Structure 1
Amino acid sequence: MEVFIISTFSSKYFGWLASLLVVLAAGWFLLPTGYVTLVEWLAPVMGNYVRPTFVMVNILVVNQLGNLLMVAIWIIAGLVGGIMSGTKKGGILIAFLTWFSCIGIGIFCLIQFLLPVMEGTITLSLPPIPPGTSLADVLSIPLVQSFVSDLPGLLASMAGGGSGPDVVGLVMSVAVYVLSPLIIAIIAGIVGAILRPKEEF
């Protein structure tokens, strides 16, 4: 019985580690060109946490229709967690822990990213855009493209009726983007558990 409990725990633990590693490694090495441009532009001023912060933003804020690469990465991570866990509950748990771990890492990176500004140790004067890059690269970021596509509706709500911007709609859109990785990973985790059921003792 003790061996079974240890085996169950270890499968979930290593499944979580593997799933988290998939997301972080893929997010780091497959960072979109627009984010890379921002990193090269801002890192000399903002410090070493620029790239980790943008990596976590790209990982966590996912437009499921506009960022298919991150959707695929979260599917793979969910499948890995579900397969290693071998149970549907384990796949769901690993998916949640992976997503929640990314939230924690993202908050830490964001704080470290903003800390020099809050402490006043750096100025907000930006260096010139690095050679070979342009603002067009920034516009290619999936999240920026999503914002640009939503901008006309936001401006229309501000101009029409004098009721101001649709803040609730904007917050809901961001919430959907943030929750999308979790939902995708949970579904993939369940599928992964079905593909490789856990052995029965």
Structure 2
Amino acid sequence: MLKPILIAAAIATTALVTLPVAGHAERAVPIPAPAIDVPVTKGQAVAVFAGGCFWGLEAVFEQTKGVRQVVNGYAGGTRDTANYASVSTERTGHAEAVRIVYDPAQVSYGTLLRVYFSVAHDPTQLNRQGPDTGPSYRSAIFPQTPQQKLVAQRYVTQLGKTKAWGKPIVTRIEGGGFFPAEAYHQDFYRKNPNHPYIVRWDKPKVAAFRAGFPQLVGS
């Protein structure tokens, strides 16, 4: 794994590796809203998305209107290996992911998907995002309900026909549990705004979100 981490003194920080800027979001990719969406329900709902380093996904979605909580974690593998050291081996089957708790009355699942595809990551990169390589950085959606699964499947097909990226979408629709990541990974963007990785890769995503979806920016 090439992603640098900033953690407690007991754990060493890895070096930043400069690689080409593929997936480095400078602007929102113009894509249509989903043709179908999950019906609005009362109370809160949950979405789980994977698309590269969870720091960037968290940074975008925690600023989205209607989102109540974003938790960084590992999806698609088992509980016993859901930790950074194990997932870093790229042999556990997990993907770095975020669990988003949101209010469907304020932001729909389809709208979250639109942000996910447009600015939160590059859905054409297979088992990588930007400088990070390996299946733990794959583009994957983990539907929490049958309705979410249907909407996600239909939207991937819909977006594929737009050819908005000029390359095929490789996003997978998967099942499996979600397990929160270590405490030092939570709220990483907010707590470490000057970290080199955040500045290089995640601040442009947030800027693209705020410019491309001003109506969705939370207060």
Q: Do the structures match in fold with TM over 0.5?
A: no
Q: How does the TM-score come out when normalised to structure 2?
A: 0.24
More helix by share: 1
Q: Which has the larger radius of gyration?
A: 1
Q: How does the TM-score come out when normalised to structure 1?
A: 0.25
Compare relative contact order (CA 8 Å, sep 6+) and give the higher one, 1 or 2.
1
